[in-house]
């Protein structure tokens, strides 16, 4: 999306234009919901609603471009995820019990990779990570956040975020090596 297009979309959303909000919601809700589900949010769609309501309340104060807006929305999502976890009993990460249906049309390479690995395998490997490792990797991969943005979102220093990412990738490599996934 070009800068002018995003700016006009943001301005329309501030004015309360439903079409603008429909476009923002359609573009961000699937990835945010995927992030919440992958992090075992207690009620992902309920948390998703809270995330977008806070975005609507605070959108008058946001100033920036599309990557910044995406990073801002994921930061809100991470905070609401922590709140939801605090308000509910902690549940074990069992993503296989709630199979996810990939719906967003990704690029061909991602589709091919997913076809080779499989959705269940992806969720199984994710479940083997710690909460912090999973949050950092998902914010980096799904949210496209920089190290600094992830650090702000999770409330850690950039060095700690890099360490978590490195350990998470090592854990993924170990899990994939155990199951023998290769190109």
Q: Which residues of the shown chain bind another protein in the complex (CB under 8 A)? A: 13-18, 20-22, 25-26, 29-31, 33-35, 37-38, 45, 48-49, 52-53, 55-61, 100-104, 106, 109-114, 116-117, 119, 122-123, 125-126, 138, 141-142, 169, 172-173, 176-177, 181-183
Q: Judged by CB, which is closer to another protein: 25, or 156?
A: 25
Q: Supply the minimum distance, in Å, between the C-beta of residue 11 and another protein.
A: 10
Residue with tokens 């004015």: 15
3-class SS at 93? coil
Interacting residues of 6 by C-beta distance below 8 A, sequence separation 6+: 65, 66, 69
Q: Judged by CB, which is closer to another protein: 17, or 157?
A: 17
Q: Supply the minimum distance, in Å, between the C-beta of residue 104 and another protein.
A: 4
Q: Supply the minimum distance, in Å, between the C-beta of residue 26 and another protein.
A: 8
Q: Judged by CB, which is closer to another protein: 45, or 83?
A: 45
Q: How far is CA 159 from the centre of its chain?
A: 21
Return the DSSP state at 180.
T
H/E stretch holding 110: helix 108-117
Q: Supply the minimum distance, in Å, between the C-beta of residue 146 and another protein.
A: 16
Please provide residue 168's backbone torsions phi and psi, each rounded to the nearest 5 degrees. -65, -40
């Amino acid at each position: 999306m070009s800068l002018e297009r995003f700016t006009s979309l943001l301005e329309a959303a501030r004015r309360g234009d439903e079409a603008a909000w429909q476009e923002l919601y359609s573009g961000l809700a699937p990835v945010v919901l995927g992030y919440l589900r992958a992090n075992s949010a207690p009620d992902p769609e309920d948390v998703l609603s809270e995330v977008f309501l806070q975005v609507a309340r605070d959108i008058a104060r946001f100033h920036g471009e599309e990557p910044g807006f995406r990073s801002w929305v994921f930061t809100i999502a991470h905070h609401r995820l922590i709140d939801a976890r605090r308000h509910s009993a902690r549940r074990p990460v069992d993503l296989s019990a709630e199979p996810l249906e990939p719906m967003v049309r990704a690029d061909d390479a991602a589709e091919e990779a997913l076809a080779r690995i499989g959705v269940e395998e992806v969720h199984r490997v994710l479940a083997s990570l710690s909460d912090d490792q999973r949050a950092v990797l998902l914010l980096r991969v799904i949210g496209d956040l920089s190290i600094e943005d992830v650090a702000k979102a999770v409330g850690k220093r950039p060095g700690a975020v890099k360490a978590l990412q490195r350990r998470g990738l090592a854990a993924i490599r170990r899990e994939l090596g155990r199951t023998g996934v290769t190109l």
